[in-house]
Amino acid sequence: MRFSERAFARSGLAVASVALAACTSLGEPFGTPVATTPASTPSATAKSATGAAGAKPRSAAQATKPMPSVRPAAQQTFDAARQALAAGRAAEAERGFSALTKSDPELSGPYANLGLIYRHAGKTTEATAALEKAVRLSPDSAELHNQLGVTYRMAGEFAKAKASYEQALRLDADYAPAVLNLGILYDLYLWDGAHALELYDRYLQLTPGGDAEVQRWVRDIRNRTARKSAPPQKEQG
């Protein structure tokens, strides 16, 4: 079975590990898997977005970039909202993050979390707006560009999704979730098996522990390619 964007996520709600001043990790996005279709058939259904599995640490340039100062009260509100989200109280978490976007609009973390909350609720328009804002505030975050790409894909904006994944990879060429998501976009939505195969292979190189599911996808593409290139069988008289 094939999913669209791979969810390096657990079923149900889980706290999104997003820093308050800038998105340094999206290691535990939340999302509930939905029905999928066989690998050979393009699918409009999806899991939620990838997290930061396989990501490298932030570069020295990113780590030393000045970040907005954070008020202690804002940090407390942010932490409380994340705790609420971890406990499955999404409405409470949404209120906390929304309050921070008004009191401390220069911080990207609240917008990033809101984007994931909205996307999980199927509010793609709101999710897109929140994640676009988060990206504007933290343009050097590969994680955020990847998450925005997933949201664009869910909205059917394939060109924008591709651009977001590619921007994530310009920021971090070895950011595995974006490599995989771009491969899936080529495979299921752009119908370009050659590019998909290249990206799946690259993803597997970035995944020392292996990934049996993606390995099956690779075999599937290669089998399809072999069938197309095989000479036609002669009828037996």
pTM of structure? 0.76
Kindly give, in sequence order, each residue whose CB lies less than 8 Å from that of residue 75, ignoring residues fewer than 6 positions away. Answer: 20
Count how many residues are written for the chain.
237
Is the torsion defined by CA of 40, 41, 45, 51 positive or negative?
positive
The pLDDT, as a whole number, for residue 237 is 59
Task: Taking residues 88-100, report their average pLDDT.
Answer: 96
Q: What is the mean pLDDT of residues 94-101?
A: 96
- Which residue segments constitute the domains of the chain, with CATH numbers given? 1-53+72-226 (1.25.40.10)
Helix-helix angle 176-184:193-205, to 10 degrees: 160
Helix/strand/coil for 89: coil
pLDDT in tens, 152-188: 999 999 999 999 999 999 999 999 999 999 999 999 9
Q: How do residues 190-209 score in pLDDT, each as one tens digit?
A: 999 999 999 999 999 999 89
User: What are the tens digits of pLDDT across the range 4-42?
Assistant: 565 443 223 334 445 665 433 333 333 322 222 222 323
Token pair, residue 139, equals 């343009």
Inter-axis angle of helices 142-154 and 108-120, nearest 10? 30
User: Which one, of 24, 33, 37, lies nearest residue 143 by Cα?
Assistant: 24
Q: Is 213 left (phi over 0), alpha (psi -120 to 50) or beta?
A: alpha
pLDDT of residue 93: 95
Which has more pLDDT, 27 or 95? 95
Convert the pLDDT of each residue in 54-77 to its tens digit: 334 343 334 345 566 788 999 999
For CA atoms 206, 12, 34, 18, give the dihedral sign.
negative
Q: Which helix (H) or strand (E) holds 99?
A: helix 90-103
Q: Which residues pair with 30 in a beta bridge?
A: 10
